[in-house]
Structure 1
């Protein structure tokens, strides 16, 4: 359940990043690419919290990291591709 919450938070951060990109003139496509390293850092923070506070091992947290990072990052790449393909 926690992983789904983290993924939903990632989508919320993506939407926020896209809106900021649009409002600041950066552009939606560039904002989508900016989101990816930001989200990776936040996903690593989630891993660190899982290991240091919740007591999980790194081996247990790596699959969660991969899933929690990849779903919103893939959404960002889809947005980037859609904007660049003229869709």
Structure 2
């Protein structure tokens, strides 16, 4: 359940930043690039913190948490990059 919540949160974070960037793109043409960079770095920090909690507090090994980190980080970021490339 927690993985689904993090996954959905990542998609919503990326979508909200790209929507805000779209609003500012008329006056600031580089806004989508800045929003994507901010979203990727923020989401990386959040997913690494989630991995740390899983390893330090919940008792999982790094090998068990790494695929979850890659899923939680990779899918929202790839989705945001594709949306940015295709639509913005």
SS at match of 1:39: helix
Contact 1:32 1:79 in 2 (8 A): no
1:1-87 equivalences under 5 Å are 1-24=1-24, 25=28, 27-83=31-87
Moved over 4 A (4+): 23-26
Q: CA deviation at 1:47?
A: 0.3
Higher mean C-alpha deviation, range 14-23 or range 52-61: 14-23
Normalising by structure 2, we get a TM-score of: 0.78
Q: CA deviation at 1:13?
A: 1.2
Higher mean C-alpha deviation, range 67-76 or range 29-38: 29-38
Normalising by structure 1, we get a TM-score of: 0.79
Alignment deviations for residues 22-54 of structure 1 (CA, whole Å, 9 cap, x no partner): 455453343123211211111101101111121
Structure 1: gaps (5+ residues): none
Q: CA deviation at 1:55?
A: 1.4
Higher mean C-alpha deviation, range 26-35 or range 40-49: 26-35
Aligned-pair RMSD on alpha carbons?
A: 2.0
